[in-house]
Amino acid sequence: MKLKQLEASISQLIQFQNPKIELEQYSTGAHIASRMLYMANSSYNDIGGKVVVDLGCGCGTLGVAASLLSADHVIGIDIDAEALDVARVNSEEFEGTIDFIQGNVADCKLKGWKVDTVVMNPPFGTRKKGADMMFLSSACQVLKLFPVGQQSSLSKIKLLYEKDSKIGRSFVSSCNSVHISIMLLRLYQTLSTHREGKFATIVWQLLGLTFYYDAMQTCVQYLSTEIICTYC
Amino acid sequence: MRLLTHNMLSCNIKGVTNGFPLAIEATTVETKEVDMNPDFLRHIFPKLEWKAFRDASHSLGVDDLPEQVDPDMLLDEEFLRRFHHALLEVHLEEGVLICPETGRRFPVSKGIPNMLLNEDEV
Ligand SMILES: C[S@@+](CC[C@H](N)C(=O)[O-])C[C@H]1O[C@@H](n2cnc3c(N)ncnc32)[C@H](O)[C@@H]1O
């Protein structure tokens, strides 16, 4: 499927009707969702023929995109029944076969080594402190990047997330299939909500991004072009 | 929900040590055809808990999977077809998933299992 086609399909999905602020329900736009998944597929071969999990799937945008890009099995997990109802309709609309689960990402562990890729646009933790870290940690647990329950795992992710460090780097190299859109979307979010001081934020975050996510470079470059067009 | 998903789900109530596999009580089962991808089947086969998968397929009325399997079978077209069908085409639409240890029941409605735990379970 071509990127244009993917974006056009994604833009037709129904989104949150009554977004629940406390769950940070905002959907990923068709533009960014299609690019993120397209790149994950074409540059990293992480979608087509794979088992993909969409954590906090909301109305299913990322999962449907994965399904359109020929993932063989897609699972979408969300805590909210209303969002899942929409997601189910969206998935049926595209004749996708996505399995949805209503569950809290915090305690919905998936057994075995069956999942190849996690995609997510998690809450940023603006409503519930630590929600972002919880999603990241859950993504790692789904992918079995560390032994379950290991204390150090969370601090490793924190390092990866927050600062330059050797541990952070080696962690990144072992987790290229966590398409942590979180960084991109966090950036996106920051831009759309804090118009002031945006430039400094962008530069800083972009540096962080390119440093941590070589893998995401294309997307980052793309985004930065868009950002510059939109805001500068 | 299909059986590949079932093969990953467990009951994560605090204190439960053996929450897998969840037993299935099926009320409605549906079949939706999808294209078979033999490479995918070969990719996922070694990762499956075969007994749990086969038992679950029985609960959904699929009775043609062998008890003993080995990777050579993945060369057999007929086996692949059955495997594909049970794994990816049969959907549990309405029913209940039951924790093997505590008997806790997780309802499945419109194909979506509700795995949310109560406050006293986490
Ligand atoms: C930012 S939205 C993203 C929605 C969708 N993935 C998208 O990209 O359009 C975050 C989603 O996470 C869900 N969510 C929040 N906390 C959760 C939790 N503890 N467990 C599972 N889902 C959660 C919300 O209901 C919401 O749908």
Residue A202: exposed, middle, or buried by beta-carbon count in 10 A (0-12, 13-18, 19+)? buried
C-beta of residue A141 within 8 angstroms of C-beta of residue A128? no
Of the candidates B12, B44, B112, which has its C-beta nearest A84's C-beta? Answer: B112
Q: Do A108 and B88 touch (CB under 8 A)?
A: no
Lowest mean pLDDT across A7-11, A52-56, A100-104, A211-215: A211-215
C-beta of residue B12 within 8 angstroms of C-beta of residue B117? yes
Rounded Cα–Cα distance for residues A22 and A152 (Å): 29
Q: Is residue B122 part of a domain?
A: no
* CA of B115 vs chain A CAs: smallest distance (Å): 5
- Name the band, by pLDDT with cuts 50, 70 and 90, for residue A96: confident
Does A58 contact ligand 1 (Cβ within 6 A)?
yes
Both tokens of A217, joined, read 């470079």
Q: What does the longest C-alpha to C-alpha distance in chain A come to?
A: 47
Angle subtended at Cα B31 by Cα B87 and Cα A14, rounded to the nearest 5 degrees:
95
Q: Do B9 and A51 touch (CB under 8 A)?
A: no
* CA of A32 vs chain B CAs: smallest distance (Å): 27
For B71, the domain range is 3-115
The rounded Cα A16 to chain-centroid distance in angstroms is 17
Q: Is residue B98 part of a domain?
A: yes
Q: Is residue B11 part of a domain?
A: yes
C-beta of residue A170 within 8 angstroms of C-beta of residue A156? no
C-beta of residue A28 within 8 angstroms of C-beta of residue A181? yes
In CATH, the number for domain A3-231 is: 3.40.50.150
A82 touches chain B (CB under 8 A): no
- Name the band, by pLDDT with cuts 50, 70 and 90, for residue A140: low
Both tokens of A50, joined, read 């794979």
A111 touches chain B (CB under 8 A): yes
Q: What interface predicted TM-score (ipTM) does this complex get?
A: 0.97
Query: Which residue of B lies nearest to A87 if distances are taken between CA atoms?
Result: B112
Q: How many CB atoms lie within 10 A of CB A6?
A: 21
Closest-lying ligand 1 atom to the alpha carbon of residue A27: 9
Query: Which residue of B lies nearest to A113 if distances are taken between CA atoms?
Result: B47
**pLDDT score recorded for residue A123:** 77
pLDDT tens track for A164-210: 333 333 333 333 334 333 344 333 333 333 333 322 222 223 323 32
**pLDDT score recorded for residue A26:** 83
Helices (H), A121-216: 131-142, 151-162, 166-173, 181-193, 198-212
* A62 Cβ contact list (under 8 Å, min separation 6): A28, A33, A36, A37, A54, A119, A120, A121, A181
Spell out which residues of chain B touch residue A88, defining contact as CB-CB under 8 Å: 110-112
| Of A13, A22, A24, best ligand 1 pocket probe by most atoms within 8 Å of the beta carbon | A24
Q: Is residue B29 part of a domain?
A: yes
**pLDDT score recorded for residue A169:** 32
Beta bridge partners of A102: A78, B114
Sheet holding B105-109, edge to edge: B23-31, B90-98, B105-109, B112-113
**pLDDT score recorded for residue A27:** 83
Place of tokens 């735990």: B117
C-beta of residue A228 within 8 angstroms of C-beta of residue A221? no
**pLDDT score recorded for residue A221:** 37
The residue nearest atom 4 of ligand 1, judged by CA position, is A58
Q: Is residue B72 part of a domain?
A: yes
Q: What is the CATH number of the domain that holds B110?
A: 2.20.25.10
Residue B60 Cα to ligand 1 midpoint, Å, equals: 31
C-beta of residue A109 within 8 angstroms of C-beta of residue B13? no
* CA of B64 vs chain A CAs: smallest distance (Å): 22
Residue A27 Cα to ligand 1 midpoint, Å, equals: 9
The rounded Cα A198 to chain-centroid distance in angstroms is 22
Beta bridge partners of B95: B26, B108
Of the candidates A85, A102, A110, which has its C-beta nearest B116's C-beta? Answer: A102
- Name the band, by pLDDT with cuts 50, 70 and 90, for residue A147: very low
The residue nearest atom 27 of ligand 1, judged by CA position, is A58
Segments of chain B scoring below 70 in pLDDT: none
Q: What does the longest C-alpha to C-alpha distance in chain B come to?
A: 48
pTM: 0.82
Both tokens of A112, joined, read 């075995």
**pLDDT score recorded for residue A59:** 97
* Number of structural domains found in chain B: 1
A92 touches chain B (CB under 8 A): no
Does A27 contact ligand 1 (Cβ within 6 A)?
yes
Helix (H) or strand (E) holding B31: strand B23-31
